C-alpha cells in the first residue's frame, strides 16, 4: 500500500477555490472559511505562499486546515480509504495547478511509491 507524504517545492494545495473543493467546505467552520477568504489573493493563491520558492512563509504557524496529517481525519474519505484518499487529493491539486506531466507530479509519484 502506498503511503502519503508531502513533497517540497509544491504548494499545489495552497491555491484556493472553495467552489471547486466541496468536500473541504463541508468540514470547515464559518470561521475557517472567513480565514481562507482573508488569506486568498486575487489570483487564488494563499498570500503566505512564496511562489518563487514554492514554500509556505508561515509554516510553523499555518492554520489547522493546512496541517494535512491532522486535518485529514475530518474527511470520511480518509477514514474509509486512508492514504489513498490523500494521494488522490494531492494528485488532483498537482494536476490542476502544474499539469499531469509536471515535475511536481513526477516528484510526488516517486515520493509515494
Binding site for ligand SF4 (CB under 6 A): 6-7, 10-14, 39, 46, 48-49, 56, 58, 62, 66, 68, 90, 93-94, 108
The nearest distance, CB 70 to ligand SF4, in angstroms, is 13
Q: Which residues pair with 113 in a beta bridge?
A: none
Least Cβ distance, residue 30 to ligand SF4 (angstroms): 18
The backbone torsions φ and ψ at residue 49, rounded to the nearest 5 degrees and listed phi first, read -90, 125
Burial of 31 (0-12, 13-18, 19+ CB in 10 A): exposed
Least Å distance between CB 7 and ligand SF4? Answer: 5
Amino acid at each position: 500500500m502506498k503511503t502519503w507524504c508531502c513533497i517540497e517545492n509544491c504548494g499545489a494545495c495552497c491555491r484556493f477555490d472553495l467552489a471547486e473543493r466541496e468536500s473541504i467546505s463541508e468540514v470547515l467552520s464559518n470561521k475557517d472559511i472567513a480565514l481562507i477568504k482573508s488569506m486568498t489573493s486575487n489570483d487564488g493563491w494563499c498570500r503566505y505562499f512564496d511562489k518563487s520558492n514554492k514554500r509556505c512563509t508561515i509554516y510553523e504557524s499555518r492554520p489547522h486546515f493546512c496541517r494535512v496529517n491532522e486535518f485529514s481525519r475530518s474527511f470520511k474519505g480518509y477514514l474509509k480509504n486512508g492514504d489513498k484518499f490523500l494521494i488522490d487529493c494531492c494528485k488532483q491539486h498537482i494536476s490542476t495547478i502544474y499539469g499531469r506531466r509536471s515535475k511536481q507530479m513526477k516528484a510526488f509519484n516517486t515520493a509515494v511509491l
